[in-house]
Amino acid sequence: MLKGLYTAYTGMINEQHRMDVMTNNLANADTNGFKKEGATSQAFDSVLAYKIKDLSEAGNLPRLISTAKGVDTYELSNEANPDYAQNRVRRVGMNMGVKTGENYVDYSEGPMKVTGNTFDFAIAGSGFFLVEYTNKAGETSVKYTRDGNFTMNSQGYLVTQDGDYVLDEDRRRIRLDPNEKEIGTNVGGDIFQAGEYVATIGVVDFEDYDRLERFGENFFQFAESDAAKAASAAYRRARANTTAIQNALDDAQARGADTAELEAALRTAQQREEEAEQELAAARANDDAANANLELPAEEASVRPGYLETSNMSIVTEMVNMIAIQRQYESNQKVITTFDESLDIAVNQIGKV
């Protein structure tokens, strides 16, 4: 098969990925504190040059041009097997065309807009507000956001528009008197009520933003470590196994069949699930301890009451990018069409001679 087909195909996949990222940016043009995303990619020649210089692999061995990612993944996952390890480099190839890379977040500060609202805050400089987020399972965790569009609930707590609690500098919920209307703030994030100090809005910064990942539209969180991801996957498998055995036991009991073996299996599965849950909790506790050291006081940031930070993306720029992406996608389509016409001539016309 002509390699140009795969080159054009990977180009179309990459442009489609760029379009997805760009449309998400456009969809959040009016989202307060939104940070736009971008997509990276690598051309085939740069990947080839990297592979040639990679001293961890034998560069003088022949390398196949492979397009089957699953085959390469399977081969690489069997490095411990002597039958595979000896000739691994000979079998593992490289994909032609463009290599889609990772997404990145632009953390630059967005424009400020004046609202004059008492519970609207914006951060001038680097930093994030602390928010206590509660998921559907009732689990709470600390998230980070630049969206300072807060409000006060009926109990007097300062919360986000979704009802999540805003935390102070000591990670405590901020509570005001809902019956007292006289509320004041300053650029340090201090909140006063009836002339008395109540709390200071928590603002933190990070030395390395690469450890952060997006959570929803406006929240950020620390990415899980590999150990926590593995423990989470093990817990999900253990829980699914327990559920499957429980269903089988319920079915056997309904039929009046012997359930002794299933009951023993269920006890074993429940024990394994409990152990997996404990391992997951320990892994997440280790992550929390490590992440706590990554937080820095936002010394150069100031909190501006009565302001909101808008999205840092430009609609005009994104629309220009959309046109460029469409043109590049169409160019790859034309390449595939050209190769298709060439194959048609080779098969249906030249082959008749």
In the chain, which residues have pLDDT < 50?
Answer: 57-63, 67-69, 72, 84-92
pLDDT digits (tens, 9 = 90+) for 114-145: 998 889 999 998 999 999 998 887 878 899 99
Separation of alpha carbons 276 and 39, rounded Å: 36
Type of residue at 264: A
pLDDT digits (tens, 9 = 90+) for 25-82: 999 999 999 999 998 887 766 666 655 555 554 444 444 555 444 554 555 555 555 5
CB atoms closer than 10 angstroms to residue 258? 8
pLDDT of residue 47: 65
Separation of alpha carbons 315 and 318, rounded Å: 5
CB 83 within 8 A of CB 52: no
Q: Is 214 helix (H, G, I), strand (E, B) or coil?
A: strand
CB 93 within 8 A of CB 64: yes
pLDDT of residue 333: 92
Type of residue at 194: A
Does this model's pTM top 0.75? My answer is no
